[in-house]
Amino acid sequence: MIFLYNERVKKNIVIIGAGFGGTTAAIALARGIGIYQDEYEIILIDRHRHQLYTPALYEIAAIPASRAPQDLLKSSILIPFADIVEKRAMRIVTDEFVGIKTDEKKIRLAQAGELPYEFLIFALGSETSYFDIPGLAEHSFPLKTFDDAQRLRAALEKIAGERSRARVIVGGAGASGVEVAAEFVNFFCAVQEDNGARKPVCNGEITLVEAGPDILPGFDAWTVRRAKKRLQELGIAVRAGCRIMSVAQNEIRYKDGAASEYDILVWTGGVKGPAILADSGMPLSDKDALLTDEYLCAAGGGNFIFAVGDNAAAANPHAGRMVIWNVPAAEAEARIAAHNILAAIRGQERRKFVPQKKYPFVLALGRKYAIADLSWMRTAGFPGWCLKQLIELRYLLSILRFKKALAIWRLGIKTYGSND
């Protein structure tokens, strides 16, 4: 006699994108799924096999290859998903999202094809926005991926060896632009030291260009003042109120008719939602992000699709605009989205997403100096840099087992500290 067993098909809770928001959501779901684990499967999808620790990208671009070879850098910034999902009620799928059928509750993956979902979280992050400025995409270096950082580092080293004074322009003086510019200051000295120069000359001419009236738009006056002072100490020129209109090879033209020559142009001036969302059939914001309600449900997706992080346009009533795209906000949204999915499964009440008036941040401004505002305290200088290291350790401990988290953290301090 043959017995046929029909294993119950589990319903899928799918998270697309394993950055800060996606990973936080997946871990929160895995922790809370409890007795429903036999009914639901948590699937985290990403096209890569590692999570990229994006806050360290500027450090990769600004450390000479002689001080940190590629394999070392990968170990310090690329966190294997296998380590993240270890002993958790979730699984990782390495594949690329290419489309969605909301009416059928299915997504399409490049390799695996269609995958049904009961609940879905979009956590795809953002893409670089060039604002249709002629020549900008062709002649600038973005800084969104590990490969971007590697290409930028190689270009900087090449220029440092060819020019007596390298001209570097960073377009966009938000948090990323300010950090990038500050970190580059030590790069040219370090290259010469590593090449055997007895008296190295810091031959980098670094200029920070901002279209708005001041650097760090959206930050408070206390932070802006200290950042300006620090940039001045580092010898970085700041040009605010300069809107880039076109870019050619080695030349930038501004709205006021002025022009600047450059050797390296780094673009950190804007991001937008992923282009793939344009084909989703779901309503998008003016920055191509998914519009969400107060529960973080994406418009057009019923109560089954959520959006968190940079691909979400969540309203912030405190500021009268959308929630700022940064790591603390993405993690907070992810926890609410996970809670609301679990609440729907349990038949409990959902929770509204209430943005903070101000999210904590740390701005690293070179040579073991950082500006830190954690809401309950703020400081600048070496204490701020120490807080940055503790915050990074805290994040690693939230996603990894203790020994692995500590090993990556110590490797990062050892690697990037050598360039300070």
Residues 19 and 114 placed together within one structural domain of the fold: yes
Per the structure, how many domains does the chain have? 2
Mean model confidence pLDDT for the chain: 92
> What's the mean pLDDT in 349-362?
92
Residues 147 and 189 placed together within one structural domain of the fold: yes
Residues 121 and 138 placed together within one structural domain of the fold: no
Residues 253 and 367 placed together within one structural domain of the fold: yes
What does pTM read for this prediction? 0.93
- What's the pLDDT tens digit per position in 268-297? 999 999 999 999 999 999 999 999 999 999
3-state secondary structure 48-109: CCEEECHHHHHHHHCCCCCCCCHHHHHHHHEEEHHHHHCCCCCEEEECCEEEEECCCCEEEE
CATH number (domain holding residue 258): 3.50.50.100
> What's the mean pLDDT in 96-123?
97
Q: Using CA atoms, how far apart are residues 318 and 329, in angstroms rounded to an integer?
A: 14
Retrieve residue 154's tokens: 């190689």
| pLDDT confidence of residue 228 | 97
Retrieve residue 54's tokens: 């994006």
Residues 237 and 136 placed together within one structural domain of the fold: yes
**129 has a pLDDT exceeding 70:** yes
Q: Using CA atoms, how far apart are residues 343 and 365, in angstroms rounded to an integer?
A: 42
| pLDDT confidence of residue 198 | 60
Residues 120 and 150 placed together within one structural domain of the fold: no
Domain span holding position 336: 11-47+95-126+273-346
> What's the mean pLDDT in 67-80?
89
**18 has a pLDDT exceeding 60:** yes
Residues 144 and 284 placed together within one structural domain of the fold: no
**99 has a pLDDT exceeding 90:** yes
- What's the pLDDT tens digit per position in 136-166? 999 999 999 999 999 999 999 898 878 778 8
Q: What percent of the chain is predicted at pLDDT more than 90?
A: 78
Retrieve residue 394's tokens: 């805290």
**4 has a pLDDT exceeding 60:** no
| pLDDT confidence of residue 3 | 42
Of 321, 302, 305, 303, nearest to 313 (Cα)? Answer: 321
> What's the mean pLDDT in 218-234?
95
Q: Using CA atoms, how far apart are residues 327 and 350, in angstroms rounded to an integer?
A: 23
- The reply to whether 188 falls in a domain is yes
Last residue of a domain, one of 285, 318, 346: 346
**2 has a pLDDT exceeding 60:** no
> What's the mean pLDDT in 315-333?
85
3-state secondary structure the chain: CCCCCCCCCCEEEEEECCCHHHHHHHHHHHHHCHHHHHCEEEEEEECCCEEECHHHHHHHHCCCCCCCCHHHHHHHHEEEHHHHHCCCCCEEEECCEEEEECCCCEEEECCCEEEECCEEEECCCCEECCCCCCCHHHHCECCCCHHHHHHHHHHHHHHHHHCCCEEEEEECCCHHHHHHHHHHHHHHHHHHHHCCCCCCCCCEEEEEEECCCCCCCCCCHHHHHHHHHHHHHCCCEEEECCCEEEEECCEEEECCCCEEECCEEEECCCEECCHHHHHCCCCECCCCCEEECCCCEECCCCCCEEECHHHEECEECCCCEECCCCHHHHHHHHHHHHHHHHHHHHCCCCCCCCCCCCCCEEEECCCCCEEEECCCCEEEEHHHHHHHHHHHHHHHHHHCCHHHHHHHHHHHHHHHHCCC
Residues 41 and 190 placed together within one structural domain of the fold: no
- The reply to whether 311 falls in a domain is yes
**232 has a pLDDT exceeding 70:** yes
- What's the pLDDT tens digit per position in 31-47? 999 999 999 999 999 99
**29 has a pLDDT exceeding 80:** yes
CATH number (domain holding residue 293): 3.50.50.60
